[in-house]
Structure 1
Amino acid sequence: MVDFGRVIMVLFTSTYFILLVWISSTAATTDPTHVAALKAMFQSMNSPSQLGWPTNADDPCGQSWKGITCSANSVTQIVLSNLALTGTLLPYGFQDLTSLTNLDISNNNLFGPIPYQLPPNVQRLNFAHNNLTGAVPYSISNLTSLTDLNLSHNQLQQALNVNFQYLSTLSKLDLSFNSLAGDLPQTMSSLSGITTMYLQNNQFTGTIDILANLPLHSLNVENNNFTGWIPERLKNIDIQSGGNAWSSVPAPPPPPGTPPVPKSNQHHKSGGVSTTGQDASSGTIDEGKKSGIGGGGIAGIVISIIVVGAVVAFFLMKRKSKKSSSDVEKLGSQSTAPLPSNEVHEVTSVQTSSVFDLKRFDTSASINLKPPPIDRHKSFDDNEHSKKSTIVKKTVTAPADVQSYSIADLQITTGSFSVDHLVSEGSFGRVYRAQFDDGKVLAVKKIDSSVLPNDFSEDFIEIVANISHLHHPNVTELVGYCSEHGQHLLVYEFHKNGSLHDFLHVSDEYSKPLIWNSRVKIALGTARALEYLHEVCSPSIVHKNIKSGNILLDAELNPHLSDCGLASYVPNAEQILNHNVGSGYDAPEVALSGQYTFKSDVYSFGVVMLELLSGRKPFDSSRLRAEQSLVRWATPQLHDIDALAKMVDPALKGLYPVKSLSRFADVIALCVQSEPEFRPPMSEVVQAMVRLVQRANMSRRTFGSDHGGSLRGSDEPAIQDI
C-alpha cells in the first residue's frame, strides 16, 4: 500500500530544495556592467589561462571566479597579485565597478598607462611592481574614499599632477621607485589622515616643507633632488632622507608665533634624520642629542651671537661718529683707517627674519669689516642713510630638459618666418610651423620686441625655466627656446588640428562640425588644465588669456591649453592683455581694474563653454546689437530648456542628449556670474563636468556612428574614454 503521506513529504522537500537553488542562483546573477568590465580587463591582459575564468560564463559572483569577491550581485574586490599577468589595462570599464573597494593587480608584468577612469569608490588601489608608464592620472583626485594608494616600482614619469585636497582619508601613499619629477603639489598639505608616505627613488625637486604639519609616522624621501632643509617637525618621526641636496648651512629660524616642535613620540622611532637610508635606531646618536640641545637650538644660539655682534658693532660705530668736529678735521688730513679689530665684529650674513629686524636700529642688514671713507661734510648718520642697498640678482640658467635652438635653425625650419608658415598671431607674438629634417614638426612662438625688449635676455631665460616646469596632459608642452641677437622665441609641441577657434568659426573643406561628445571632452580637458594651473602648481598660476584660440586640438581632438605661464612671468603682461578688452572673454572686473585673478580665468572658461554650446563668437559685431555680446545674450536663456534648445549650435543638427546639454548650461551659468566671489573654483568645475560625463553615458551606442568632428585627424574616442 502506498504511503501517500511519505510521498507528499518527499515531493514537498524536493520542491523546496529546487526552489532554494533557483532563488540562490537568481540572487547570484552578477550585475551585467560588472561582468562587462571584468571581461574587458580579461581580454586586455591577454586572456590569462592562470585565472581559470570560464570562457563563456557571465556570473563571477555566482561561480566564484578566481580573485573576485562579491557582495550580493556586485563585485567588491579584485585581487590578482603575483599571477604573472601580462598585457595592459584598458582605459575604460573600471568606472562601472561602483561597488569595488579593493583593486590589487600588483606584482605582475602589466605595461602601458594607468587608466584615467578608476573605480569611483575604491579604498585600496595597488598597482605596484609592474611596468606601468606615463603619468599618475589626475583622476585619482576624485577617489575620495581612498585610504591606501600604492603605485611603487613602475616606470611612471612627469610631475605629480594630483589634487590631494579631497583625499583626507588617505593614510598610506607609496610612489617609490618611479621617475616622477617636479615639486610636490601644494595640496599635499591637505592630507589630514596620512601616516605613511614613501617617495624614495624618484626625481622630485624643491622642498618638503608642505609635509611638515602632516600626521606622519613614517616618511622616506631618499634619492631624489630635494633641496632646502628638513622641517624640524619631521625630525621626530621615522624619516629616511639620504641622497638629496639638502642645504648644509643652518636652517633659518621659524617665523614668530610658530608653535614649538613637539617632543618625539616614544611609540615611533627617533634619533633624528637618517642620511644613509638606515633607521636612526641603528645606534648612531647625534652629538646634539647627547647634550640635550638639538640642531635647531644650536642654530638659534649661533644666530643670536651674530645678532648681538651686529648690535654691538653698530653702537660702537655710532659712538665713534659722535666725535667732535675737531676730531673730524684731524681725520680729514689722514688716510682712512679701519676700526680697531677689537671694536668690529665681522658679520657675514644677518638674515632679516622675523626674529630680529635691523631696520629698527637704522642700519643696513649687513655690516662690512671696513667702513666707507668718511666725508667731512656729512655726519656718519647721513653717510649711512645715503647708501643704496645692493641687490645681487640671482643667475638663472636654462633648464636642461628643454633644447636650445639657434636663430639659424629656426629660420631654416620656418622658411625665414615666412607667411606660408604662419599659424596664428596672439597678444605676445606670432606662431610659426617649423618643419625639421627628421620629419618632426614643432610650433615656434616669436615674442614681439614690444613684449620683451632686446636687453631682457636674462628675464627670458627665467621665463623659460618657469614654463618648463609645467607638465600636464592638457597643457601644451614647452620643447625648447632660442635667445640670440635680441630675439626671444619659445618652441612648443605642435598640434595638427589647430585651435578650437578655427574649428568653431573657420570652416573649410577639410573639417566637419564638432559633435557633442567632442565639445564636452574639450571643455573637460581645458577645465583640468586650468585646475592644474590654479590648484596644483606651486606657485599657482593665473593664465589671464583663456580663449578658444589658445586651446589647441591634437589628432584625437584632445585639448591642450597654450600660453600657460607666459602672462604670469612676462613683465607688464596685464597692460599688453588689456589692449584686448572688448573681445568678449574678459570678466567685468578686469575691464574696470585691469587685474586678472583665478576668478577671471573661471569667467573666461565659461565664455569658451558658451562658444562650444552655441557655436558663436564671444563678441560678434555683425549680429544684431542685442546679440553681439555672447554672455549678455545667452545668460538669461541658460535655465530655460526651450530657449536653450534654440541657442545650440545649428551645426549639431539636434544630435545631443537634452539632459547633458542642460547640465552643461548649468556649469556655464556658474562660471560667467558677474560677481567673482560667486564663481566656483576650477576643481568644482571639473567635478561637475565629470559628473556630467558619468551621467550622460554618451557612448557611440547612444547615437550609432559617432564619427563627426574632423577629417584632419583620426576618429575620436567616445566620451566615456576621456
Structure 2
Amino acid sequence: MVPTLMKLKLLLFIATFNAATATDPNDVASVKAIFQSINSPPQLGWPANGVDPCGQSWKGITCSDTRVTQINLSNLALTGTLPYGLDRLTSLTNLDMSNNNLVGTIPYQLPPNLQRLNFAHNNLTGTLPYSISNLTSLTHLNLNHNQLQQPLNLNFLNLSTLSKLDLSFNSLTGDLPPTMSSLSGITTMYLQNNQFTGTIDILANLTLNSLNVENNNFTGWIPERLKNIDDLQTGGNAWSSGPAPPPPPGTPPIPKSNPHHKSGGGTTTGQDAGSSTKDEGRKSGIGGGVIAGIVISIIVVGALVAFFLVKRKSKKSSSDLEKLGKQSTAPPPSNEAHEVTSVQTSSVLDLKKFDTSASMNLKPPPIDRHKSFDNNEFSINSPIVKKTVTPPADVQSYSIADLQITTGSFSMDHLVGEGSFGRVYRAQFDDGKVLAVKKIDSSVIPNDFTEDFIEIVSNISHLHHPNVTELVGYCSEHGQHLLAYEFHKNGSLHDFLHVSDEFSKPLIWNSRVKIALGTARALEYLHEVCSPSVVHKNIKSANILLDTELNPHLSDCGLASYIPNAEQILNHNVGSGYDAPEVALSGQYTFKSDIYSFGVVMLELLSGRKPFDSSRARPDQSLVRWATPQLHDIDALAKMVDPALKGLYPVKSLSRFADVIALCAQPEPEFRPPMSEVVQALVRLVQRANMSRRTTFGSDHGGSLRGSDDPAIRDVQIGT
C-alpha cells in the first residue's frame, strides 16, 4: 500500500513539474516549424527533439509563463525560408529575424498580436501579404533591404498604432494606397529606393517627424505641410516645378511650424523644387497659390463671358431662321442653315457629329429657348445605353452576410491563399458543404462595375471540364465582388512540391504524370474546345489544385481572359519564372505563352525545384535556363530528378516526359506544339508505361483519346 501511495505522489509531482514548465503546445509547434524552415541551424543550440523552449530557455526565445512572447533571431547568418503557421503564436508581440539570409515570401499567417515585426536585410521576394492589414497592435514594421515587389496592397485603416514604417530598398511599385492617410500614430516613414509612382499628397496631414521618399518615381508637388517636418528627404523623383496649385476649398491654412518642429531652429529642410518660390512669395505678401487662384478666376470669368456672347449670337441666328421660314416655304437656301435646322428638330443629338462640326465650323449647338438656365445648359443630354446582363442560372447567388458567416468575416483563420486578383477563403456551411471563396480586389474590378462582373460570372459559368475548377456561386453586393468555387482539400501542386511539413508525403512518379496529363487536358479544353477560345494567362503550380485522389483541377480559368485590365495586373508577376520570353517583351499573353508556362510546371514536377529561386547561385536561379540544356542528356537528366522520388521512376518514362518539356518550353513560340498534341504525347507516354488505368480520367469534353497510331502523336517527337 505504501509503495503504491509513493508512486502516486511521484507521478503527481512529475505532472505538477511538467505543468509548471511545459510550453504551450501551439507555441512549441510554431517554434519547431521555424527551426525546420531555417534548416535547423546549429548556432541556435536548440535541442533537435526539444519540446520546452520556455522551460529550457532556448536562445532567442522569451516567454511569459507558458507562452512565447518574443522571438529574436537577428544577425545569426540564418538561411532557409519563413514558415507557415505562425498565427498560432497568439501571445507573440515581437518577431525579429532581421539581418540574415532568408529567402522566399512572407507568409500570410502571421502572429495576430504582433507589436514589432522586423524582417529587414534578408532576400525575401514576392509581395506584402494583405494579412499585415489585420495586425491591429503593430507599432513597428521593418522590411527594408529585401526584394519585395508589386504594389503596396495593404489596408492601413486598422493600423492606427503604427508609429514606424520602413519599406525602403525594395522594388515596390504603384501609387501609395489612400488608406495611408489614416495612419494617425505614424512618426517615421522610410519609402526610399523603391519604384513608387503618383503623388505623396495623402501623406500631407500625417504627424511625421521623419520622411524619406528618395529615389522613386513620384510626381506632382511636395505638399507644403511636409516641408516643415524635421527630417524630409525627397531627392531622386520627378517633382513638378513652379508654384503648386491652390489647395481645395475649405483646406485649413498651413501652420507656420510643425507641431513636432524643434523650437529655436529658424530653418526648414524643404530644399526641393518650389521652395525658393515659396520664400519669395512670403516676402512680397502674395503666395504662389494666390497667384494661381487669380489666374484661374480670370479664365473662369472669361469663359462665362464667351459663353453668353455665343448664346446671344445663336439666339439671333435662330430668330433669323424663323423669319426665313415665315417668308418662304422653300427649303433653306444654304446647306449651313439646313444643317442647323436638322439638329434643332432631331430628338437625339449625335455626339460624334457634334464634335466634328464644332471643331470644323466653330459654331455652338442651337439653344432651346424654352429651357431655363437652371436646366443645365452646359451639358449635352444623350441617352446612355446600359447593357443588361442576366445572371447565370446554373450558379448560386450568395449574399455578403452568408459568406461572412461561413468565412468568419473573412478572418485569417479561413484564409487559404493570395493571388494576383485577390484572396481566397475557406467557407464552411452549416450543411457540411465547403467552398473556396475568392474575394476580388477592388483594384481589379472597381466597386461600381457590377454589370461587368455579372458578365464575367456568366462567361466563367460556361466552363465545364473534369480538370477545371468548377464555379458554383458568386456574390455582388455593396461594391464587393466574390466568386465561390468547389474546394479541394489537398491544396495546390505548389504546396505539395515546395511546402513540406510532417504530414505531407512526396508525390510518386505516377502521380506526377497523372497531374501533368490532367492539366494538359484542361488547357486543351480551354484552347481548342471552348468557343470562343480561352487563354488562361496565369498557368502556375499554385493554380493547379489537387483533390483527394490527386486529380488536378486548373483554377482561375477564364478570369484573366474576361477581366479588362488583367494583363496589366499579371505583368507585375513577370520574373516569377513562368512567363514566356515574348510576354516579358510585349506583355501580351497567347495560347503559346500558356503552353510555355505549362512546360515550366512540368519542369517543377520533374525536378521539384521552383521556377525561380533567388537562394541558388545566379546561373541556377532560373529553372528553365538551368534545365533545358540538360533535357536530352540522360545522365544529366538523372541528376535533375526531384530527390524526393529517391530514384523510383521508369527511366524511359522520364526521358519521354523530358522530351515533352523541351517542346513546350522552347523560346520561339511558333515551334511550341498545340495542347492537343501535348495531350496525345502524354497519353502515349502513359500507355507505353502501362499506367493508363491509374492515370486517365473519364470524359474530357473534347480531349479525345486517340490511338498510338494517330499521326498527331507521331508529330510530337517523343523518344522511344
TM-score, normalized by length of structure 1?
Answer: 0.46
The one of the two structures with greater contact order (alpha-carbon pairs below 8 A, sep at least 6) is 1
State TM-score, norm by structure 2: 0.46
